[in-house]
């Protein structure tokens, strides 16, 4: 094979390499245009409610959550978030101290955060002014990770409101307390504001 033929093969090979690289760049740009990760604003809020002694309802909140939501082509594709247990507030400082310090409750010294990470997102309902999503994922609480399902509503204005029910027994939360003293199920509401 002469030098001209070798040169031609070399140029042909370089052409294919350049075309391959340009295709990769184009694909990565297309993905970056359609995929969007948006940080959760610190003024987002997590509230909860549960029955106590079968009579009264205890309400509380966690503040300053951190994390992000992922959108793909304008649709919610995933979410990850954590909150510091130390931000708990139930309107009773003695109860808050008890919940933070006792090993059978949040035991914040050992487990300072509660985190949720989605593994699957599906659309339940879609209308002109809101979309209802189902987020399946994992909640890590007191060092234990268990499956949890959220329903999130995305309103036309951009806010995301999520609800779920946490079975405290699955995470050993309040272990040793009967379901009459502390209800087994905790209703949780997550109000997410996003840093656009």
Q: Where are the domains of the chain?
A: 35-195
Distance, CA of 43 to CA of 23 (rounded, Å): 41
Q: What is the pLDDT of residue 128?
A: 78
> pLDDT for 19-63, tens place per residue?
644 444 444 444 444 678 999 998 899 999 999 887 899 999 999
Q: What is the pLDDT of residue 146?
A: 98
Give one DSSP letter per residue of 20-77, joined into a string: HHHHHHHHHHHHHHHEEEEEEPTT-EEEEEEEETTTEEEEEEEE--EEEEEEETTEEE
Predicted TM-score of the model (pTM): 0.79
Instruction: Indicate if the pLDDT at residue 18 is higher than 60.
Output: no
Instruction: Indicate if the pLDDT at residue 10 is higher than 50.
Output: no
Distance, CA of 68 to CA of 192 (rounded, Å): 10
Fold for the domain defined by 35-195: Lipocalin (2.40.128)
Mean pLDDT of 121-141: 93
Q: What is the pLDDT of residue 89?
A: 98
Distance, CA of 112 to CA of 90 (rounded, Å): 17
């Amino acid at each position: 094979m002469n030098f001209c033929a070798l040169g031609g093969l070399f140029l042909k090979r370089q052409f294919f390499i350049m075309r391959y690289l340009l295709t990769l760049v184009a694909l990565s740009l297309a993905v970056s245009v359609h995929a969007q990760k948006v940080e959760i604003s610190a003024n987002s809020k997590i509230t909860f409610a549960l029955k106590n002694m079968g009579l009264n309802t205890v309400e509380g909140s966690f503040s300053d959550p951190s994390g992000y939501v992922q959108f793909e082509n304008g649709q919610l594709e995933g979410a990850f978030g954590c909150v510091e247990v130390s931000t708990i507030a139930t309107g009773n400082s003695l109860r808050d101290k008890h919940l933070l310090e006792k090993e059978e409750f949040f035991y914040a010294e050992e487990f300072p955060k509660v985190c949720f990470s989605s593994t699957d997102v599906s659309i339940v309902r879609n209308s002109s002014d809101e979309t209802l999503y189902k987020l399946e994922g994992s909640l890590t609480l007191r060092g234990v990770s268990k499956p949890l399902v959220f329903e999130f509503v995305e309103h036309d204005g951009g806010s995301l409101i999520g609800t779920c029910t946490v079975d405290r027994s699955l995470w050993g939360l309040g272990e040793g307390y009967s379901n009459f003293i502390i209800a087994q199920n905790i209703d949780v509401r997550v109000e997410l504001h996003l840093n656009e």
